[in-house]
Amino acid sequence: MKAKALTVITGVLLLTAAAAWLLRVEFAFFSNFYLLYLGLLLALLGLTFILLQFILASRIKILERGFGLDRMFSWHRIFGRAGLIMVTLHAVLIVAFRLSYFGQIFFNVFIFLGVLALLGFMVTAGLASTYKKIGLAYETWRNIHLANYVLFPVVMVHAFYHGPPGSLLYYYLYLLGLLFLAVIIYRLVRIISMRRNPYEVTEVRQEADDIWSLFFKGPRLDFKPGQFMFIQLFRDGQLSSPHPFTISASPTAENLSITPKKLGDFTMTIKDTRPGDRAYIDAPYGVFSFLNVAPGELVFIAGGIGITPFMSMLRYSYDHKLDQKVTLFWANRSEKNLCFQEELETMQKEMPGLKVIPVMSDQPDWSGEKGHIKAPVLMNYLESLGNKEYFVCGPPAMSRAVINELKQLNVSSLKIHTELFEL
């Protein structure tokens, strides 16, 4: 993963150098006007970074297979914020330049469009960082966030007005515009494809007090155990926003399934879904699968509903009768949060290499392991730490804590696999 991050950073540095050279060539006659040069450089880089965050959020599968969508979304946030900072500084520097050299800003409709787009980006970025804290519903935030697809063409009109026609800079702006158009077309084609190939809910099953499984029949999906989907449910005449959920079914199963826990506005309504409801599914995504690593001993560490990708992997192993040693640590508050118990018991009986260790953090009368999954618990059940692949899935804070424990036990980061997926 460090190599992939280094690739991204290297690309950004090369982009910065190219933009600096491009502007140096086009604006050499402004060589003494450093405020103008730096302001234009920040504008060009800012536009590019904002475009990159559109690309990274578009679920382009050829990119996703190399990085994982969780990391692409993380870079999406980084590039979006960096781009916003750059275009904001661009506005400040250009205003400073014009006031110092001309004594006025030369305000016109195209500058107004640039200011309008900048203010719009500030609002959407601010809500992206705070919508959970201020209690804004995910669907509302997402709809507001989609305004960026209108704001980017607006800011491009502003940029084209100020770019010298026929220059290298002008052609670069054309390239940015064409890439943005390609992103729009890609997203529209994917939406049309999903609408033409709907799924149908076949069963709604309660797995625990606040955990439900939905089963779907529809087009056969080729995926690896552990991958996830984006799903929109059409219920009572209304279409939901897309939400990501791990596919809890094995690729060997006849129907797809997801197993959400009631954690937010959308998942609170999962139990209200009825057989016959329509679903639009965009999948598969993710690189979190034991099929992506060399065969060997596996250690699965789950927190709460983070068990779902491991259920997909274990079901796949069970159906294929794979002879593989797997140790599953599963952290929960209490046993009332447990699901799939009977199925896991059957798997343990019929899969000699499988060992399941539930760990309860808030149940004093639990007869098994108590507390949190830390080094003593791991060492108590693992004969050695080397030559194993570790998969960690759970709430982000829990996953980071477990990863830190593993690193303190000198487990190589190359042996630790996780998906820290946060929207």
Quote the mean pLDDT of the chain.
89
Whether the pLDDT of residue 117 is over 90: the answer is: yes
**Residue 134 clears pLDDT 60, i.e. is over it:** yes
Could you tell me what percent of the chain has a pLDDT over 70?
Answer: 92
pLDDT value at 304 more than 60: yes
Q: Which fold has domain 2-194?
A: Four Helix Bundle (Hemerythrin (Met), subunit A) (1.20.120)
pLDDT at 73 over 50: yes
pLDDT tens digit sequence for 119-133: 999 999 999 888 878
CA end-to-end span of the chain, whole Å? Answer: 20
Does the structure show a pLDDT above 70 at 390?
yes
Higher per-residue confidence, 165 vs 91: 91
Is the pLDDT at 103 greater than 90? The verdict is no
Give the pLDDT mean for 330-335. Answer: 92
Does residue 26 have a pLDDT over 60?
no
Structure tokens at 414: 């190359």
Residue in the block written with tokens 């982009």: 15
Give the SS3 label for residue 370: strand
Neighbours of 166 (CB within 10 A): 8
Which band of pLDDT confidence, cut at 50, 70 and 90, is reported for residue 200? Answer: very high
Same fold? 201-285, 290-418: no
Residue 386, pLDDT score: 82
Where do the domains of the chain lie? Answer: 2-194, 201-285, 290-418
The answer to whether residue 396 scores a pLDDT higher than 80 is yes
Least confident of 6-15, 258-267, 305-314: 6-15
Could you tell me the CA-to-CA distances from 134 to 105, 146, 282, 312 in Å, in that order? 37, 19, 29, 35
Q: What is the pLDDT of residue 70?
A: 81
Q: What is the dihedral of CA 220, 226, 227, 230, to 10 degrees?
A: 90
**Confidence at residue 359, expressed as pLDDT on a 0 to 100 scale:** 95
Q: Give residue 202's pLDDT.
A: 97
pLDDT: which is higher, 199 or 169: 199
DSSP one-letter string for 149-204: HHHHHHHHHHHHHHSPTTSHHHHHHHHHHHHHHHHHHHHHHHHHHHHHS-EEEEEE
Q: Report residue 77 as tokens.
A: 């946030």
Decide which of 115 and 72 is more confident.
115
Q: What is the per-residue pLDDT for 27? A: 55
Helix pair 34-56, 148-162: axis angle to 10 deg: 150
CB-based burial, 122-152: b 16+ in 10 Å, e otherwise: eebbebbeebeeeeeeeeebbebbeebeebb
**Does residue 387 register a pLDDT over 50?**
yes
| Burial of residue 169, with CB atoms counted within 10 A of its CB: 0-12 exposed, 13-18 middle, 19 or more buried | buried
158 has pLDDT over 80: yes
Using alpha carbons only, give the angle 343, 346, 347 rounded to the nearest 5 degrees: 85
Compare 232 and 99 and report the one with higher pLDDT.
232
Residue 17: the pLDDT is: 67
pLDDT at res. 298? 97
Q: Which of 164, 213, 218 is nearest to 339 (CA)?
A: 213
Measured torsion, CA atoms of residues 258, 260, 266, 270, in degrees rounded to the nearest 10: 70
Q: Which two tokens stand for residue 16?
A: 């910065």
CA distance 97 to 32: 11
10 Å Cβ neighbour count for 10? 10
Compute the average pLDDT of residues 236-258.
94
pLDDT value of residue 6: 59
pLDDT of residue 13: 63
Q: Under CATH, what is the fold of the domain 201-285?
A: Elongation Factor Tu (Ef-tu); domain 3 (2.40.30)
The distance from CA 192 to its chain's CA centroid, rounded to whole angstroms, is 22
Of 40-44, 147-151, 183-187, the poorest mean pLDDT is in: 40-44
The predicted-structure confidence for 201-210, as pLDDT tens digits, reads as follows 999 999 988 8
The predicted pLDDT at position 31 comes to: 47
Whole-prediction pTM:
0.87
Q: Which amino acid makes up residue 388? A: K
The CATH code that applies to domain 290-418 is 3.40.50.80
Q: How far apart are CA 376 and CA 146, in angstroms?
A: 47
- Look at residue 25 and tell me whether its pLDDT is greater than 60: no
